Amino acid sequence: MLTSDGGLFVALPEEKPASYAGREIFVGYALRPREVAARGRAALLLWGTEVLLGIGSDGRIYVTEEAMPGKGGRKVFRGFRATDEERAHIVAELHRMVFNLVGGVPRA
């Protein structure tokens, strides 16, 4: 998940709590499409300067639990902040995957 402060959070692996002990945790609740539409882009961008927002790989916008009043029935993301080294590795892997995907698309 990419966050409004430039961070990259990785979903929490439940089986290895020692690997993220002491790390910053992001717990976010997905905004509903009608909430996103009601706010509009400009208001969402402004909100992202006031509270930590995240954009998940599922395309949803996640808001911290402190900033989300009604949490019931929402998709939840829980993850830890990646270190600089982890972030560099993740970005390199994403770049490689996108390159391979684009390279496999037939040209018209």
Coil, strand or helix: which one is 38?
Answer: helix
Task: Write out the DSSP string of 5-21.
Answer: TS-BEEEPPTT-GGGGT
pLDDT surpasses 70 at 104? no
Domain edges within the chain: 2-82
pLDDT at position 59 over 80: yes
Six token digits for residue 16: 């290895």
pLDDT single digits (tens) 87-98: 899 888 888 888
Q: Kindly indicate the confidence band of residue 99, based on its pLDDT and cuts at 50, 70 and 90.
A: confident
Higher-scoring residue by pLDDT: 71, 57: 57
Chain-centre distance of CA 24, in angstroms?
Answer: 14
